[in-house]
Amino acid sequence: MAYPTDRPATWFVTGASRGLGLELVTQLLERGDNVAATTRSTERLAKALEGVDTTRLHAVAVDLADEAQVARAVADAVERFGGLDVVVNNAGYGYLAAVEEVSDADARAMFDVQIFGVWNVLRAVLPHFRERGGGHVINVSSILGLLSFPGWGLYGAGKFALEALTESLAAEVAGHGIAVNLVEPGYMRTDFLRPASLGLPQATSDAYPAIREMVEQHLAMPGTQLGDPARAAAAIIAVATTGAAPLHQLLGSDSLGLAGGRLRALAADVEASRDLAVTTDIAPAEAGI
């Protein structure tokens, strides 16, 4: 199903009260689209949208890890607006720590948002999209869904998992007229690296001084990032309205450059693996060929 041109589109956006999500909701409302926006605090979202016409906004407090809450939120949005056209799974937060320093609780909390929350949304919305004969899912990943760095293991693990989930989903639902895209931003000038949106371990180890230095550098970064969240939000709208984006849509020149480096490194690993890789096949004689 193509993006509607004869009526306002209806969007379902998670993680709507800060950063990229807030910018996206603002632009959608200014376009005259309908927006069902999930947040942990509808009061915070309302305050952030002061001065914006919110007539077409349906804000709902949702714990994305609660499948029943998510299902009700999707059903309420469908009932209020008569259907959904685009779902943007945007909710997330950062986390900086060595792999050894990540507690079980923190790891599970991250996956609750980045994977299980997304899965809850998909289970709720896909039957509706199939019944309508189309729809669009846009999952907000990161350049760290394609490569990772020391100290970003937990966040990157969630985004890598999101990439795999989304690639499978895209192939599964294409026959139902449902479009699927990943967007992979680099650093953006949001509060992503501020305390409100960043997790840190309760205990750290003296064994990782380079990570402590990296964390300090990142805590000092807000306000200097290259990416513009307003332009990123506009790019997400373009992904939906044009239908022309690739499955993996990079955002930001930093993301583009890092992805190119990752491709070259992966290609080098493939070639370096070749001689040993072919030794693990069953030989034709052993296979009875």
Q: Supply the residues annotated as catalytic.
A: 141, 155, 159
Q: Hunting for tokens 């999500």 — which residue is that?
A: 21
* Tokens (6 digits) for 118: 């997304």
Q: Are 96 and 200 in contact (CB under 8 A)?
A: yes
From CA 126, how far away is CA 135, in angstroms rounded?
8
- Residue 4 burial (CB < 10 Å; 0-12/13-18/19+)? middle
* Tokens (6 digits) for 74: 């999707």
Q: Are 250 and 190 in contact (CB under 8 A)?
A: no
Q: Are 101 and 205 in contact (CB under 8 A)?
A: yes
* Tokens (6 digits) for 80: 């209020």
Q: How far is CA 241 from CA 70, 74, 85, in A?
A: 25, 21, 11
* Tokens (6 digits) for 280: 């693990």
Cα 18–Cα 226–Cα 181 angle in degrees, nearest 5: 65
Nearest one of 186, 148, 182 to 163, comparing CA atoms:
182
